[in-house]
Structure 1
Amino acid sequence: MRHWTEELDDDADQPLVRPYTITGGRTTAGRDDLTLITLITALPVVGADPAADRQALQPEHRTVLRLCAHGPVAVAEIAAELDLPVSVTKILIGDLIDAGRVRARPPLAFAQNGNLPDMTILEAVRNGLRGL
């Protein structure tokens, strides 16, 4: 008699941890302000023990912080880098927002702070696309 697991494909590319395990069983984000284009920025840690902080965070949380350390990153880009569904990524980002580790801003708010891209670059991209 064969065991039911013998027919499963043992693919090393598949994650061993299911998304519901990463999120502690949560299936929806507790926030409705996170969209695919919401920009996430890491905040500096004040007065925390770095070793204790690393132990308190899951590897996925640490990856989000690493991705956002050098500037704003869209939720969609974070999900792609984590190779996780956007819904799971939103839950992880919500955890970090609640812990005061990241800040979420809509892209328009970021642009209104004077952080607009150079117009010559945008025009060059536009002209290049028109040339295709």
Structure 2
Amino acid sequence: MSPHWSEAERELGDDGADSMVRPYTITRGRTAPERDDLTLITVLSAVPQAAEQAGRRLQPEHRTILARCLRQPAAVAELAADLDLPVSVTKILLGDLIAQGLLVARAPIAVARASGGVDLGLLTAVREGLRRL
């Protein structure tokens, strides 16, 4: 379970309806991302100045995403695994941060082509993130 769950939520377990309450509240009832351009391998980077100013006005999950992306750019799949949340919920949270100018999304294939090669470290990280899902 996500480290962001309260003790009461942990006690409910993973019996279907109860396990969907937390993601529903995290997304404020939204069930689909507003953006359709986020794939499992879309790489996200934090905008340092904006992320530092955002501070405590964000939900814990948003802060976790920003902290991770400040350390190193991460793929959608990696972030979903880190948060222990469904990819669809993670995409909604990522869309929030992109809309606020706190994250920048880019497709890794276009970046690899522009730089003249494939970043094997990034591909390995994405593969490992997918395995953790």
Match of 1:5 in 2: none
What TM-score do the two structures reach when normalised by structure 1? Answer: 0.69
Distance 2:20 2:41 in 1: 28
Match of 1:58 in 2: 59
Give the AA of the match of 1:28. A
The yes-or-no answer on 1:81 pairing with 2:85 is no
Secondary structure class of the residue paired with 1:18: helix
Distance 2:12 2:28 in 1: 24
Shift of 1:16: 9.7
Query: In terms of mean alpha carbon deviation, does 31-40 or 66-75 score higher?
Result: 66-75
Secondary structure class of the residue paired with 1:40: strand
The yes-or-no answer on 1:36 pairing with 2:66 is no
Of structures 1 and 2, the larger Rg is shown by 1
- Runs of at least 5 residues in structure 1 that lack an aligned partner in the other structure: 1-8, 123-132
Percentage of pairs with the same residue: 55
What is the root-mean-square deviation in Å for CA atoms of aligned residues?
A: 3.0
Query: In terms of mean alpha carbon deviation, does 55-64 or 13-22 score higher?
Result: 13-22
Equivalent residue pairs, number: 109
Distance 1:113 1:97 in 2: 23
Q: Which has the higher helix share?
A: 2
Distance 2:78 2:52 in 1: 29
- Runs of at least 5 residues in structure 2 that lack an aligned partner in the other structure: 1-9, 125-133
What TM-score do the two structures reach when normalised by structure 2? Answer: 0.69
Match of 1:22 in 2: 26
| Distance verdict in 2 for CA 1:116–1:101, change over 3 Å | same
